[in-house]
């Protein structure tokens, strides 16, 4: 056998092996491998329910509200309805989708992780909600109510990144994030306008402002706290607050437009 023939046979063999490897159909798309198992949590620090306080308030946008950009969803006929960007959602000066949480002041307290999952829905090729709060280790139930395939792709800094496809009419995917992370972006690579943010915190003291910019954090033990207000485009603003036993304190906040 001359050199040419040997080279030719080697090349064809290599191709055959590659083809064989490629043909090995990948059936297993179970998400269990990607689901981080929460470590055994220490017992929660008790809180006296008779003394707990409440913090509530309204978050305002101080300036002319930007006009939301129209989203072109024509690349997928299953994505029906109007869609606008949710970067900054302002209604009469009230700012929605601001994540408010107790950033500091809880010390070494630990909290039980709720057994109930929070739901993230994909409907109309949009995420519902756009901003989600969850405790570290708490399950997130991800549903697809669209008649098209989505892929859910969180791009965290401190947690494990994953990417899974979810065809229509398939069971919900359950996931959790092990570490605290604020404004963890989630996107769909099939529909590039689909973006949302998950906020993973250690305590249950968080809220997301509604359409009227309102939020409420209940069950807080009396003390001195730093409350953080985080908006995906406008950044973070903090306020120091002291709450006494059974007190309800109003803490309002306003964001100014950020120069582009």
Partner 1 sequence: MKAIRAKYNPAHHAFAVFTALATLVVITAGALVTSNDAGLSVPDWPTSFGYLVKIPHFVGGVRYEWSHRMVAGTLLTLTLAIACWTLLVESRKWLRWLAIAAFCTVILQAILGGLTVLLLQPPWVSTAHATVAQTFFCLAVCIALFTGQKWIEEPPRVEFDTRRPSLLMLTLLSIFVLYVQLILGGMFRHHGMSWWPHVLNAVIVSFVLAWTAIRAISVYSNIEAVRRTAILLISLLIVQLCLGFTAFFTRVAWGQGAVQPELPMVASTVAHVAVGALLLATTVVLSIQVWRHVPVAFEERVSEAQQHNASVA
Interface residues with partner 1 (CB under 8 A)?
Answer: 4, 7-8, 11-12, 14-15, 18, 21-23, 25-27, 29, 69, 71-72, 75-78, 85, 87, 148-149, 151, 153, 161-165, 187, 189-193, 195, 233, 260
Closest CB 235 distance from partner 1, rounded Å? 14
Closest CB 148 distance from partner 1, rounded Å? 6
Which tokens belong to 106? 């809880």
Q: How far apart are CA 145 and CA 245, in angstroms?
A: 44
Between residues 12 and 41, which has the closer beta carbon with respect to partner 1? 12
Between residues 7 and 44, which has the closer beta carbon with respect to partner 1? 7
Closest CB 6 distance from partner 1, rounded Å? 10
Q: In Å, how far from its chain's centre is CA 183?
A: 7
Between residues 29 and 108, which has the closer beta carbon with respect to partner 1? 29
Closest CB 130 distance from partner 1, rounded Å? 12
Q: How far apart are CA 240 and CA 105, in angstroms?
A: 10
Closest CB 149 distance from partner 1, rounded Å? 6
Between residues 175 and 191, which has the closer beta carbon with respect to partner 1? 191
Between residues 2 and 108, which has the closer beta carbon with respect to partner 1? 2
Closest CB 104 distance from partner 1, rounded Å? 31
Strand ranges for the chain from DSSP E = 53-61, 90-91, 94-95, 99-104, 118-123, 126-128, 131-135, 140-144, 150-154, 164-166, 173-175, 181-187, 195-201, 206-208, 214-220, 223-231, 235-243, 248-250, 253-255
User: Number of H helices and number of E strands within the chain?
Assistant: 1, 19
Given the structure tokens 């329910």, which residue do they identify?
A: 49
Query: How far, in Å, are 112, 165, 214, 226, 242 from residue 105 at the CA level?
Result: 18, 40, 22, 6, 10
């Amino acid at each position: 056998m001359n050199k040419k023939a040997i080279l030719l046979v080697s090349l064809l063999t290599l191709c055959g092996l590659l083809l064989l490897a490629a043909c090995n159909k990948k059936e297993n798309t179970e998400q269990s491998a990607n689901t981080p198992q929460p470590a055994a949590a220490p017992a929660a620090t008790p809180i006296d329910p008779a003394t707990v306080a409440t913090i509530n308030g309204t978050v305002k946008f101080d300036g002319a509200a930007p006009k939301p950009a129209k989203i072109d969803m024509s690349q997928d006929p299953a994505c029906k309805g109007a869609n606008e960007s949710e970067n900054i959602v302002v209604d009469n000066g009230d700012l929605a989708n601001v994540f408010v949480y107790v950033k500091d002041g809880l010390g070494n307290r630990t909290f039980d992780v709720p057994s109930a999952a929070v739901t993230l829905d994909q409907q109309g090729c949009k995420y519902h909600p756009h901003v989600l709060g969850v405790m570290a280790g708490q399950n997130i139930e991800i549903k697809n109510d669209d008649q098209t395939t989505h892929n859910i792709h969180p791009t965290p800094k401190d947690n494990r990144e994953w990417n899974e496809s979810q065809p229509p009419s398939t069971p919900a995917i359950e996931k959790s994030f092990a570490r605290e992370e604020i404004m963890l972006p989630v996107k769909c690579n099939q529909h590039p306008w689909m973006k949302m943010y998950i906020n993973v915190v250690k305590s249950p003291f968080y809220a997301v402002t509604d359409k009227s910019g309102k939020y409420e954090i209940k069950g807080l033990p009396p003390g001195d706290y730093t409350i953080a207000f985080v908006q995906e485009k406008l950044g973070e603003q903090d306020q120091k607050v002291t709450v006494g036993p059974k007190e309800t304190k109003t803490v309002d906040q306003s964001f100014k437009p950020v120069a582009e």
